[in-house]
Structure 1
Amino acid sequence: MLELPELETYKKLLSEQIINKRITGVQVKEDKLINSDTAAWSKQLQGREVLFIERRGKQLLFHLDNGKRLLLNLGAAGQIQLNGLEVDEGSHANAQVMISFGDQALRLLGIRQGYIHLLSAKEADQELSNLGPELLDRKMNLEKFQTLFARKRGMLKSALVNQSFIAGLGNGYADEIAFEAALLPSAKLQDLSEESIERLYHSTMTVLHDAIEYGGMGEERLNAKDDLTGGYKSHVRVIERDGQACERCGATIQKAEVGSRKTYYCASCQKEK
């Protein structure tokens, strides 16, 4: 599933290409992905413009010029494409939802357990109200991070992927953050020292900013002009590197299940505290 850096990458690329462009066409092939009658849903989008795009957790929120919001959740394997209308028939036929902006079309494919809902501002706020704080919010700092984690118990990885605790992370970046902080994913939060939590904070920010700079680990590019998406895959230090040497200490990267989740780590240089 796409995580915070991948969605930040899509947000950046989409913002460069569809902001302030009028919606000229809407096609829906999977009614279950939207939240009203298809004809009515499509009609409400016709002629609207996207003023800006916001990421909240693992979702994108398209702010429209009439005050409405399009909330996009790609689910486990969803893809976004933004191509010209002359794109090959295969991509056109496979699109579950297609929103045209003049000579460009935003296509949503492979969405499982996801959705794209048209909501009022209040409805969107309610839909997202169960999410925890954003790690990249301007208000987030070391003090607030320490306060947040000081109240939490249980395993580090379980906390990092808990969307009601903090929003946006999943399996992949939780492992990279734990490695950067030299903490085992199974480390107990209640046993961490103040120094360890401070190290975790700086490691979290380092991994996220680096991942966003290099376009995340996503494999599906937005379009042929997209030379950013997926650039971070060559920078990962533990994800899918089981059996390889740890670049920090030379030991072998391990793969195991932690909290019923596939997890990568170095048992030598990552510690419980």
Structure 2
Amino acid sequence: MPELPEMENYRILLNQKIAGQTITDVQINRAKSVNVEPDEFINNVSRQKVVTVERRAKQLLFHLENGYLLLLHLMLGGRMFFGTTEEKPDRTIQIQFSFGEQNLYFIGLRLGYLHLYDKTCIQKELSDLGPEPLGQEFTEDVFIKLMEKRRGRLKSKLVDQQFLSGIGNCYSDEICFHARILPMREMNELNQHEVIQLYQSIRFVLQDALKHGGYMEPFFQGDTLTGGYDSLCKVYDREGETCVRCGVAIIKEIISSRKTFYCTGCQS
């Protein structure tokens, strides 16, 4: 599932490609991917200019000139591609926006969605999200207070969107590895040094992943940035491989129904 770095990378690229552009056509091939009748969706979106695209947690918000917003959550298996009809991937397209000869394809939305809201309703949809870990207001002091009296396993809490927004399976493991902390540790057992290190690791890993384009497939033909972090993951999806830091084999375990990767040699 795309996480904060992937969605932030998408946000940057979408603003480069479609901000200020008018949606000339809308095609909906899967009605369940939207939250209103397809005709209503098309009537409110077609011929509208995309003012800007912003991100909140793992979701993107497309601001339209008429005041409506589109809330995108790719969930598991979802992705986007921007290009011509000849360039589009050989995948099932659930929704397509056209901008003249160029198209924005929404792919793999079996669980994901693109919902239409007004400004009042969108605030309700996003009201339970936790702090943005790359936001300027997310300081070390804020994180220390956030950690006070928190209970539960570290892995489970890092992926809790009400605790922190935007972190999922991949980056929770990479963060724990960078901080040298085992993901099954109990939150209330971490000492102050570990909490500060965890904060620094959250910021470092997410920023590093964003710098390298996250782990998604290319967004457009010739895109050499998107997906660059996939080969840089240290533990995620590396079961049985040798740890780059200490040489011990990476272990895979299920924690709270989530696959989790870690190294017993240099995480404690």
Find the aligned partners of 1:87 and 1:253 in 2 and give their Cα distance.
38
Distance (Å, rounded) in 2 between the aligned partners of 1:63 and 1:162 = 27
SS for the counterpart of 2:111 is coil
- Post-superposition Cα deviations, 1:228-259, rounded to whole Å, max 9, x if no partner, equal 11101221111122222212222221111122
Check conservation: 2:62, 2:71, Cα contact below 8 A: yes
Counterpart mapping for 1:105-184 below 5 A: 105-184=103-182
In the alignment, the residues of structure 2 paired with residue 161 and residue 107 of structure 1 have an alpha-carbon distance, to the nearest angstrom, of 28
Residue type at the aligned position of 1:244: E
2:100 partner amino acid: G
Counterpart of 2:199 in structure 1: which amino acid? Y
Larger deviation: 251-260 or 55-64?
251-260
The runs of 5 or more residues in structure 2 that have no matched partner are none
Q: Name 1:267's counterpart in structure 2.
A: 264
Question: What are the superposed Cα offsets for residues 44-70 of structure 1, whole Å, 9 maximum, x if unpaired?
Answer: 112211111111111111111222111
**Greater CA deviation, 172-181 or 97-106?**
97-106
Bigger shift: 127-136 or 182-191? 127-136
CA–CA separation in structure 1 for the residues paired with 2:125 and 2:264: 39
CA distance in structure 1 between the aligned counterparts of 2:89 and 2:221, rounded to whole angstroms:
16
**Shift in Å, 1:86:** 4.0
By how many angstroms is 1:194 displaced? 1.0
Same amino acid, percent of matched pairs: 42
Q: Distance in 2 between matches of 1:178 and 1:188?
A: 13
Matched ranges for 1:189-268 at <5 A: 189-218=187-216, 220-268=217-265
Partners of 1:197 and 1:74 in 2: CA distance: 31
Shift of 1:222: 1.1
Q: Equivalents in 2 of 1:244, 1:199: separation in Å?
A: 25
Residues 191-210 of structure 1 show CA distances to partners (whole Å, capped at 9, x for unaligned) of 11111100000011110000
Shift of 1:174: 0.3
Deviations 1:10-30 (A, max 9, x none): 111111110100110011111
Cα distance change on mapping 1:87 and 1:235 into 2, 3 Å? closer
User: Secondary structure of the equivalent of 1:81?
Assistant: strand
1:78 alignment counterpart: 78
Cα distance in structure 1, aligned partners of 2:88 and 2:57: 32
Query: 2:99 corresponds to which residue?
Result: 101
Q: Structure 1 residue 151: deviation in Å?
A: 3.4
Task: Give the Cα separation in 2 of the matches to 1:229 and 1:87.
Answer: 17
What's the secondary structure of 2:177's corresponding residue? helix
TM-score w.r.t. length of structure 2: 0.96
The corresponding residue for 2:185 is 187
Quote the Cα distance in structure 2 between the aligned partners of 1:209 and 1:241.
21
Counterpart Cα distance in 1 of 2:195 and 2:178? 12
SS, match of residue 140 in structure 1: coil
CA distance in 1, matches of 2:103, 2:88: 12
CA RMSD of aligned residues (A): 1.4
Question: What is the deviation of 1:98?
Answer: 0.6
Partner of 1:40: 40
**Where do 5+ consecutive residues of structure 1 fail to align?**
none
Whether the 8 Å contact between 2:52 and 2:63 is mirrored in structure 1 is yes
Query: Could you give the per-residue CA deviations for residues 107-162 of structure 1, whole angstroms, max 9, x where no partner exists?
Result: 11111222111111111111111211111112110000111111311110000001
Give the Å deviation of 1:79. 1.6
Distance apart, 1:103 and its partner CA:
1.6
TM-score normalised by structure 1 residue count: 0.94
Structure 1 runs (4+) deviating above 6 angstroms are none
Task: Give how far 1:89 is off.
Answer: 9.1
- Residue correspondences, number: 268
The 2-side partners of 1:126 and 1:112 are apart by 24
Question: Which amino acid is 2:243 matched to?
Answer: C
How far 1:164 sits from its partner (Å)?
A: 1.4
The SS at the match of 2:229 is helix
